[in-house]
Amino acid sequence: MARMPSAERRRQLTEAAIRAMARDGVAKTTTRAIAAEAGVSLSVFHYCFDSKQALVESVITTITDHYVTLVKEALRPRATLEDTVRAGFQAYWDHVRTHPDEHMLTYELTQYALRQPGFEHLARRQHEMYGEAYTHLIEQLRAGRDLRLRVPVTVLARYLAAMTDGLTLNYLVLGDEAAWTGVLDTVTAHIASLVMADGPDAAPGPPPDRAPG
């Protein structure tokens, strides 16, 4: 086979591992399967990575970075505030629908990391970056307009990240796209109601939007 510097081989093996894991699941993706997917022999794998764990670490950091880039692209500011929220969800949603296996993989890797002693920080980093992506968006929106938030930025960002995560997993399990237009509209409206132009920032106290009685 063609010779190649170690760094590039590592990238090649990492990408192959992501493809194989997205297709077959983490549990079934052995080192042999990864080497075969990359078109190299098993020994090349162990020449580039000390262990399977070392490769998985590379996989998690790589896919987290991919994912965050995706979210940040999807969530760029648009003409109006509601457009931004709606178009952002739409772009993200299109990616979920067209690449369900990749998203599935992110959930599997989260749990792999949480169960593997010494890897917990990778799972935390993953979810912290989701929150940061949303925080970044909110800050952009605040800079462009004169926005006031009804809830603190950290709360809103975390809420958005958790909700996106939950909705995605729910879709991956249940499918049924038709049911989603309603849910997405509800969510979009809620977000818009939490981010308003021209009002005082919320004090860190009781929540807004109380229902009558």
Partner DNA sequence: GTCTATAGGAAGATAGAC
Partner DNA sequence: GTCTATCTTCCTATAGAC
2 binds, among DNA, a second copy, none (CB under 5 to 8 A by kind): DNA
User: Applying CB under 8 A, which of residues 82, 119, 140, 148 lies at the interface with a second copy?
Assistant: 82
- 210: part of which helix (H) or strand (E)? none
In sequence order, what are the beta bridge partners of 130? none
Locate 66 and state its tokens: 């991919």
Per the CB < 8 A criterion, the answer to whether 84 and 77 are in contact is yes
User: Applying CB under 8 A, which of residues 108, 119, 138, 141 lies at the interface with a second copy?
Assistant: 108
Q: 54, 45, 53, 39: which is closest to 6 by C-alpha?
A: 45
Quote the least distance from Cβ 173 to DNA, whole Å. Answer: 24
Per the CB < 8 A criterion, the answer to whether 48 and 13 are in contact is yes
Map residues 32-61 to x or -, x wherever contact with a second copy holds by CB under 8 A.
------------------------------
Q: 38, 73, 74, 76: which is closest to 58 by C-alpha?
A: 38
How many residues interact with a second copy (rule CB under 8 A)? 64
Would you give the distance in Å from CA 79 to the centre of its chain?
24
* Per-residue CA distances from 101 to 8, 21, 84, 172 (Å): 25, 9, 26, 9
Per the CB < 8 A criterion, the answer to whether 137 and 75 are in contact is yes
Our CB check for a second copy shows the closer of 99 and 124 to be 124
Quote the least distance from Cβ 211 to a second copy, whole Å. Answer: 4
Our CB check for DNA shows the closer of 46 and 78 to be 46
Q: Which residues contact 127 (CB under 8 A, 6 or more apart)?
A: 110, 161
Our CB check for DNA shows the closer of 5 and 118 to be 5
Residue 195 in the binding site for a second copy (CB under 8 A): yes
Residues of this chain that interact with a second copy (CB under 8 A) are: 24-25, 27-28, 80-82, 104, 107-108, 110-112, 114-115, 123-124, 126-128, 151-152, 154-156, 158-159, 161-167, 169-170, 172-174, 179, 182-183, 185-190, 192-198, 204, 206-213
